[in-house]
Amino acid sequence: MSTLTHLECSYCGKEYDADVLQTLCPACGKPLLACYDLEGTKKKWPRESLKDRETTLWRYWEILPLKDKANAVTLGEGYTPLFPARRLGKELGMSNLFIKDEGLNPTGSFKARGLCMAISRAKELGVKEVVIPSAGNAAGAMAAYAAKAGMVAHVFMPQDVPLPFRMECRAYGAQVTLIHGLITECGQQARQAASEHGWFDVSTLKEPYRVEGKKTMGYELAEAFNWDLPDVIFYPTGGGTGLIGMWKAFSEMAKLGWIGERRPRMVVVQADGCAPIPRAFEAGEEFAKPWENAATVAAGLRVPAAIGDFLILRAVRESGGTAIAVSDEALILAQSRMASREGVFACPEGGATLAALEKLLAKGWIGKEEKVVLFNTGTGLKYPEAT
């Protein structure tokens, strides 16, 4: 049984009914997050019980928002491998380097985690038609899950997204609109269309359940490391759903008694051409100013203004982590280095984590023995031109 109780505003703390469709907090306009009866679940749900469960993210059923299992729209997402990166580690002088390979998810990226949950819950609450603004992977994932759910899907994409992203959306039967502009403009158009036609907008953090799908990465890391979390996590950050989700997962697991108080240092990785979070982090600000003229080949990082900026910054600071930007040249070089040393053909965003690791190692910010996880968030196969 899901132990979902209600939704709570991540900023002002107001509480809302989870059993009706919700978007942003009506009071302050910030994202809502799902709350569970962790106290009541604690006694009934020991971590050992996970052993016999299915090898998808649905193994964490109790802390997922779906009320009825029959509403789960699934393509086998989650439970991705965590590879020891031995050759790369050796070259860098590191003894505990790992790659969590999210490229093995359905539709080739970790967007599958968030969108399977958003679509499943939307279906449960009666939605028939969905819309998303996306720079690539989110659109493909939404289109696939909407197809499986029998929903009508609308996608607003910048016209310069790589061809494979457009191809897959159309193959899944989505209505694709190409926009002359960045993801922020796509967001405006999607919002307008949503309010005109009554479509449900599944943009990052505008509905509460994509975070719930993505937080399972945190549960999987804890489980894979036998409940001893890594020292440092490198996360290529756009809207920050995964980072916010993992940070939430750690706090939930502590309340369940599954882990202690120690937390990984969270490292936000962005690109030099679009680095609003590192800039706000350095300046000590609570919110990040929008980045002007955002440009990077790592499309997932081309998010000039993130609605969850304060949650990203909060997690980074509470964890003792940092936020860092790398050049496009460095992230593409790192992408091929990861492929040729570890057999993981990462997306450019995944390559960025390795480039950032090299930078922080050179600064002495990371110890050579520390347990470090790089997130490869998608397959490299969808970016033929960048590569």
Ligand X SMILES: *Cc1c(COP(=O)(O)O)cnc(C)c1O
Residue 216 in the binding site for ligand X (CB under 6 A): no
Residue 107 in the binding site for ligand X (CB under 6 A): no
The distance of closest approach from Cβ of residue 61 to ligand X in the complex, given in angstroms and rounded to an integer, is 22
Residue 377 in the binding site for ligand X (CB under 6 A): yes
Applying CB under 6 A, among 65, 240, 304, 321 the residue interacting with ligand X is: 240
The gap from C-alpha 230 to its chain's centroid, in whole angstroms, comes to: 18
* Spatial separation of the C-alpha atoms in residues 300 and 131, rounded to whole Å: 18
In sequence order, the β-bridge partners of residue 178 are 157
Give the pair of three-digit tokens for residue 121.
């819950």
Residue 283's contacts (CB-CB under 8 Å, 6 or more residues apart) are none
Grouping H, G, I as helix, E, B as strand and the rest as coil, residue 262 is: coil
* Spatial separation of the C-alpha atoms in residues 157 and 140, rounded to whole Å: 11
Residue 378 in the binding site for ligand X (CB under 6 A): yes
What DSSP assignment string belongs to 288-355? Answer: PPPPTT---S-GGG--SS-TTHHHHHHHHHHHT-EEEEE-HHHHHHHHHHHHHHHS--B-HHHHHHHH
Residue 100 in the binding site for ligand X (CB under 6 A): no
Residue 242 in the binding site for ligand X (CB under 6 A): yes
Applying CB under 6 A, among 30, 111, 123, 166 the residue interacting with ligand X is: 111
The distance of closest approach from Cβ of residue 99 to ligand X in the complex, given in angstroms and rounded to an integer, is 14
Instruction: Lay out the site mask for ligand X across 320-349 (x = CB under 6 A, - = otherwise).
Output: ---------------------------x-x
Q: Which stretch binds ligand X (CB under 6 A): 13-21, 54-62, 232-240, 329-337?
A: 232-240
The distance of closest approach from Cβ of residue 266 to ligand X in the complex, given in angstroms and rounded to an integer, is 12
Q: Which stretch binds ligand X (CB under 6 A): 42-50, 58-66, 130-138, 353-361?
A: 130-138
Which sign, positive or negative, has the C-alpha torsion 341, 344, 347, 350? negative
Q: Do 375 and 97 contact (CB within 8 A), yes or no?
A: no
Q: Pick out residues in 256-315 that bind ligand X (CB under 6 A).
A: 300
Q: Which stretch binds ligand X (CB under 6 A): 235-243, 255-263, 280-288, 314-322?
A: 235-243
Residue 37's contacts (CB-CB under 8 Å, 6 or more residues apart) are 3, 5
Residue 237 in the binding site for ligand X (CB under 6 A): yes
Which spans of this chain sit near ligand X (rule: CB under 6 A)?
A: 109, 111, 136-138, 204, 236-242, 300, 347, 349, 377-378
